[in-house]
Amino acid sequence: MEILLTSPVTPIVANKVRVSNISDHPNRLQLSFRLTIGYTDADGKWVEVRDYHELIQNTPAVLYNKDKPENEAKPASPQYDILLNLLKTSGKTAEEIILNRARAKFPGEVSE
C-alpha cells in the first residue's frame, strides 16, 4: 500500500510514499513509523529518495506559566489513543490509517 504523489519529488518518475518500521510502544503511549518517498525502477526495485520518521503519541496538557510567556497553554493531545480507537473500530490496518493521515502532508492517491 502506498500514496501516489500528485506533485512528484523527482520529475523523471511518479513518486510514491510507503510506510514501514511501524513500532508500537503501548507503555509509552506512542507509535513510531517511517515514511519513505521513492519510486520503483525498471528492475522492480524500490529506490528511496527521502525518508521521514514520524511519531504519534499522547501529549499532556501544557498549563500557562506566567514566568515563561513564550510557552503557550495547550490542551492535551491524545493522538495515540485516537489511533488505537481507529484501529479497533474502523477495520483498517495501521498502515492504511497512517497513509490516510500522511496524505495531509503528501497529497496523492492511496493505492494497493
Mean pLDDT in runs of 10 for the chain (112 residues)? 76 80 87 90 88 88 77 82 90 88 85 76
Q: 62-89 as b/e, with b when 16 or more CB fall inside 10 Å?
A: eeeeeeeeeeeeeeeeebbeebbebbee
**Looking at residue 33, what is its pLDDT?**
92
**Looking at residue 39, what is its pLDDT?**
87
Q: Say how far apart CA 93 and CA 105 lie, in whole Å.
A: 20
